[in-house]
Structure 1
């Protein structure tokens, strides 16, 4: 909290090592992102896309897949994709949170990337070992050109019959470039604190006279 790069240093003084933050009330809250997956932000866009592919192709089997190709940003490569041999080894939940192969495998195999899956990452990784080993990370010039103003994503799932399923998105979901819906935020809240508590929280901040407003929660 009080360290050189801590919360009070960043937001109290507004100046760290010569870098002014220029915070504006209200505006900066709208520039933040909501994380729908319990892992490194550099993985989120690809999880979005691979989850979509699973939902669009519910009968897709590991035997059908040649490779699962995921674009990663160079700025985040050492976090989520390098060295490649290390990112396939999942011994703890933290290993999974910083492994694009794990995130990609979970998303394409199950259509989701939940807290429970990351909490039980070693067991999940063993179950999805064949999916994990199909993942190949690569760099994309299109993504690099847009970064850091926009965090884009792109994936390719190559099938053994010669078909390639390609998807891309201009901003990962929940970011300022791809605003989330109230329903999506409520679904996340229910998964974290339960349906009753999520509804109570939603009502408490959307009721006139209470602290906070509905747009803040949305």
Structure 2
């Protein structure tokens, strides 16, 4: 039996089986957090651009765009919602696989579920199936895959396909075909980091779109490569120099990866979060004293992605370790406002950012990707030195957000768009998905009152 077939059988079986209570709750948390990013993210220019194109190219009345309430084709809604949910850098994160699962997976499942009027139970099971497929593939191909490829895009399309195919009720062979088509569309390169381009939210939107497209094509009878993963010209051979196949099958159906999911407090790349948390702890001890230099030690992959001492755009700032640590020390926060152009241009902040130096630490390299540690040392005028090490940032397993903290994050994201009353009602509706609340009813709460 091929690995593709193993994953397809798992997803088909999951559709007909009640989720364990802890897995259901984890899925509801994931949906709540994703909705916050998708609704608020619609205000950002890349998301607005994606939506404008979707209106022209993917018109229809099948599914809802969360940021505006308008309706497009299911493919258009998946694309627009996926892009919007990834643009603010506040969507979820599975650290061991270096993968943001919600942004490609949930919009594909949601658009399919709205189109066919699926129950909340089926929607949640589909999301869990997508998380399992996407995360397990990302764990298998990383870290070598991560050198050039963005797993949220490349592995995300497989997760999105599994989720959409589960909602649409594909047979095992149908889902194998869908995954085969997904693999031939898997793409997403890191080159955008070199000039701060806006490609990253496109990765999530396109993965969501392509995952749903692959499922719809299989539903219509299009066949796909049946060994798309392990075939001699398949996904593994093309995108990773080392692959751990055991990561795909070990515990499949018994140990659910969604239980390892984490949630972000800071509106920037997850590789900066341990350093930000360390800087926030140090800020309390600095007490207004003059900072001469800030040294950040972390793992090399974090620097490959975020070593940018002079970011010129909002998006580039979200991938600048120097800026993230500087705003944490200067503002005591690393939220949405800390990455706006006005903060980038602030001369005092720019002066502090210029005093942040970064380096790789060998023992931190060895710890990655199971841990994402950072050490921050602050040298003060007068010679005093303060330092702090953080291994697990707030929001990740081992240092998780409570349900109430996650709800407060959601309300803070959504209230400016929907208002406080509707935001609270939407949070309540998410908690009813596991009891069978129809997905269309969830969306009516969001935009019909």
**1:148 aligns to 2:369 (yes or no):** yes
**1:126 aligns to 2:345 (yes or no):** yes
Alignment partner of 2:154: what SS? coil
Following superposition, the deviation at residue 38 of structure 1 comes to: 1.9
Give unpaired runs (5+ residues) of structure 1.
Answer: 82-86, 213-218
Structure of higher CA gyration radius: 2
1:35 aligns with 264
Kept after mapping to 1: 8 A contact 2:272/2:302:
no
| C-alpha separation in 2, matches of 1:111 and 1:60 | 12
Change (3 A) 1:184 1:95: same
Change (3 A) 1:32 1:58: same
Following superposition, the deviation at residue 123 of structure 1 comes to: 2.0
| C-alpha separation in 2, matches of 1:156 and 1:129 | 19
| C-alpha separation in 2, matches of 1:198 and 1:68 | 40
Following superposition, the deviation at residue 198 of structure 1 comes to: 4.3
Superimposed CA distance per residue, residues 6-64 of structure 1 (whole angstroms, 9 cap, x where no aligned partner): 5343463494426553454772111122122221111011111112222x247324xx1
- 1:20-99 equivalences under 5 Å are 20=245, 21-22=248-249, 23-24=252-253, 27-54=256-283, 56-57=284-285, 59-61=287-289, 64-81=290-307, 87-99=308-320
2:429 aligns with 204
Kept after mapping to 1: 8 A contact 2:298/2:365:
no
Following superposition, the deviation at residue 141 of structure 1 comes to: 2.7
| C-alpha separation in 2, matches of 1:206 and 1:66 | 49
Kept after mapping to 2: 8 A contact 1:73/1:143:
yes
Kept after mapping to 2: 8 A contact 1:153/1:171:
no
Following superposition, the deviation at residue 138 of structure 1 comes to: 1.5
| C-alpha separation in 2, matches of 1:88 and 1:158 | 18
Change (3 A) 1:145 1:135: same
Alignment partner of 1:51: what SS? helix
| C-alpha separation in 1, matches of 2:322 and 2:157 | 36
Q: How many residues align?
A: 201
- TM-score normalised by length of structure 2: 0.41
The structure where strand makes up a greater share of residues is 1
- The structure whose RCO (Cα within 8 Å, separation 6+) is larger is 1
Q: What's the C-alpha RMSD, in Å, of the aligned pairs?
A: 2.8
Change (3 A) 1:6 1:169: closer
1:215 aligns with none
1:84 aligns with none
- TM-score normalised by length of structure 1: 0.79
| C-alpha separation in 2, matches of 1:198 and 1:49 | 32
Change (3 A) 1:163 1:58: closer
| C-alpha separation in 1, matches of 2:267 and 2:331 | 15
Superimposed CA distance per residue, residues 143-176 of structure 1 (whole angstroms, 9 cap, x where no aligned partner): 2232121112221111122221111122122112
| C-alpha separation in 2, matches of 1:110 and 1:151 | 23
Larger mean CA deviation between 145-154 and 106-115 belongs to 145-154
The structure where helix makes up a greater share of residues is 2
Following superposition, the deviation at residue 115 of structure 1 comes to: 1.2
Alignment partner of 2:364: what SS? helix
Give unpaired runs (5+ residues) of structure 2.
Answer: 1-103, 109-152, 163-178, 180-227, 230-234, 238-242, 439-449
